Amino acid sequence: MKYQTYEEIIKNNREWASEKLSIEPSYFETLSRGQKPPFLFIGCSDSRMALDTITKTEPGELFIHRNIANQISLTDMNLLSVLEYAIGHLKVKHIIVCGHYCCGGVTAALEGNAEGLVESWLMPIRELYRKNKKELDEIEGLKKRSDKLSEMNVILQVKNLCKTSVMRKVFKGKDYPKIHAWVIDIYIGRIKELKIPVSEFKERELLPKDYKY
């Protein structure tokens, strides 16, 4: 893969802006008036997850929070602030929790070779592996085991999302966002929608009784 230079990136920006204006002269004037995205995307920081390319979305359509291995922590003030703003101010209609195959963070947690702050950050995934060790170890090949753990991690983070004070509050009303669990299949470039265990989450009072998937 050929990586672009800093100068090329600046040049590309100029070309992109000019192209947009040639098609729609008022494009940036309209864009500057504010945002009302219908989607909050919580995903991984991996540079290969080019969301606008993968989803063919335009600026203003996705409100985004990203971190290593798409973690949702109940004590992460950054994420909680994003979540609160997205729901309370932007009125997003969908929240997407998204992981991906070939995730370096998940693989590091699986192998137990992360160090420093990253090791602490990935500890919930390491614990998830330990909890499901028998099932995962029966899968042949590190890549396949890691990809399965990536799927498990997304569902765990959806569970954590439902536990946040922000979601607990909004679930008391009738107008709350739909939650989606995605994995990007990096081998073929497609979105894989994962099934959220809605019935189980309702029984545990993580989702409202009237929640429809």
Q: Tell me the Cα Rg of the chain.
A: 19
Q: 171: closest CA among 57, 51, 83?
A: 83
Question: 14: how many CB neighbours lie within 10 A of its CB?
Answer: 9
- Pick the catalytic residue from 44, 65, 98, 162: 44
Catalytic residue among 98, 103, 145, 180: 103
* 65 classed as catalytic: no
Told to judge if 185 belongs to the known catalytic residues of this protein, a careful annotator would answer no
Active site residue 103: yes
Catalytic residue among 65, 98, 100, 145: 100
Taken in order 85, 89, 95, 101, the sign of the CA dihedral is negative
Long-range pairs, 28-34, Cβ under 8 A, ≥24: 31/59, 31/60
Catalytic residues: 44, 46, 48, 100, 103
